[in-house]
């Protein structure tokens, strides 16, 4: 499994940006985004969910640093 870092942000009713970062383990990037989104939305209350739906949710995802090092280590172990 790979680790992905997914960052969420949206504008609330006070016109402030609310952001959060979730790190998940998944086999692919789309699966990681879906899993992180479910966890993030579960953590919001009713008013925050309404604000998120009204203003839109911005999602940025990237492989986590520990997952990026794993293929290099396994390639080094296979070679030597």
> Can you tell me the mean pLDDT for 2-28?
93
Q: Which residues contact 66 (CB under 8 A, 6 or more apart)?
A: 3
pLDDT tens profile 47-73? 999 999 999 999 999 998 754 444 554
Q: Quick check: 17 and 10 in contact, CB under 8 A?
A: yes
pLDDT tens profile 16-58? 999 999 999 999 999 999 999 999 999 999 999 999 999 999 9
Threshold 0.75, pTM exceeds: no
Q: Quick check: 63 and 71 in contact, CB under 8 A?
A: no
Q: Would you state the pLDDT for residue 66?
A: 57
- Report the DSSP beta bridge partners of residue 65: none
Higher local confidence (pLDDT), 77 or 27:
27
């Amino acid at each position: 499994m790979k680790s992905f870092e997914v960052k969420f942000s949206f504008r609330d009713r006070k016109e402030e940006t609310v952001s959060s970062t979730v790190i998940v383990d998944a086999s692919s990037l789309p699966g990681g985004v879906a899993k992180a989104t479910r966890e993030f939305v579960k953590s919001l209350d009713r008013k925050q969910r309404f604000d998120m739906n009204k203003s839109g949710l911005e999602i940025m995802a990237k492989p986590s640093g520990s997952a990026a090092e794993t293929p290099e280590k396994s390639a080094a172990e296979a070679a030597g």
